[in-house]
Amino acid sequence: MKGASTAVDISKIRGAQETRFEDSVAVEEPLELQICSPTATGSAAKSISITMRTPGDDIDLALGFLAGEAIIADASEVLSAEHCGEADPETGFRNTVRVELHPDTRFDFDRLKRHFYTTSSCGVCGKSSIEALRINTHPAIDSAFCICREKLLELPGKLRAHQAVFDRTGGLHAAAAFDSQGDIIVAREDVGRHNAVDKVIGSLLRDGRLPAGDLGILVSGRASFELVQKAWVAGMPLLAAVSAPSSLAVRLAQESAMTLVGFLRDPGFNIYTGAQRIVEKK
């Protein structure tokens, strides 16, 4: 991912020894998301979010965010999605993406209310209340998707093979969509775990694969409420995390009839909901 890391000079301390060293750190830059729709918001573009992200796959990030907010469900609802504005003179990054929606796309702009700044570590910090997060218009997931235990256990290793920037910096989260054979379909990295998931979902949307009832999603960190919500809205029947889920994540997975896996690390894992989708053999 071009521009995802940068070199810095550091002092490396090991016991009593100090060494000057050039290290790689993950790039973190703000991304402003603007939308415009003649019928829904007026002809002028309106800013709906600023998130701190790792530059790269910004269009996927924007589209995945809109899909996760249930604003769009199909690529046909998007007339255009592109960077706009001047590049930052210091970094060279263009930090605004504007999405023009089809005039027939309807949504309640007020429902998108959040503080103008959200942190890279948590995509829901700016939400006005927990109730504003719930996407009640989506039915419970009805999918025959299943995967065998052996293939599930192989996924973290496969994801690591896609984490080139993490290898250089140790500072990025990752997410990947995978099929029932345990093959990774698309993988993305970002300084924010919710951004990595948005990038994956945005890529699937552009490829016409939403709702993704035939795919699961793997995240490199913990399973939060918001990540379960994003997977649910995308129609994905299984979310697996290499770390722990939160109580709200488990509750939402139960409500959505999603399979939720945590602590996915060889030689085992925990199944919190939807155990029927994980089989011993296929």
Instruction: State the CATH architecture for 29-133.
Output: Roll (3.10)
d(CA 182, CA 155): 7
Q: For the segment 85-97, what is each residue's pLDDT rounded down to a tens digit?
A: 999 888 889 999 9
Report yes or no: 132 and 125 within 8 Å, Cβ to Cβ: no
Dist. CA 221–CA 22, nearest whole Å: 27
Tens digits of residue pLDDT in 125-182: 444 434 544 555 678 999 999 999 999 999 999 999 988 776 677 778 999 999 999 9
Out of 122, 125, 146, 148, the active site residue is: 122
- Rounded CA gap, 176 and 62, in Å? 17
The torsion region of residue 260 among left (phi > 0), alpha (psi -120 to 50) and beta comes to beta
Give tens-digit pLDDT for 211-247: 999 999 999 999 999 999 999 999 999 999 999 999 9
Phi, psi (degrees; rounded to nearest 5) at 98: -115, 130
Q: State the Cα torsion 246-247-248-250 to the nearest 10°.
A: 90
Angle at CA of residue 178, ends 99 and 134, nearest 5°: 55
Architecture of domain 147-279: 3-Layer(aba) Sandwich (3.40)
pLDDT tens-digit series, residues 106-135 = 766 665 654 333 444 555 544 443 454 455
Distance CA(211)–CA(231), nearest Å, equals 10
What are the structure tokens assigned to 259, written together?
């399979």
pTM: 0.89
Does the active-site annotation cover 122?
A: yes
| Residue ranges per structural domain of the chain | 29-133, 147-279
What's the 3-state SS for 154-171? HHHHHHHCCCHHHHHHCC
Burial class of 214 by CB neighbour count within 10 A (0 to 12, 13 to 18, 19+) = middle
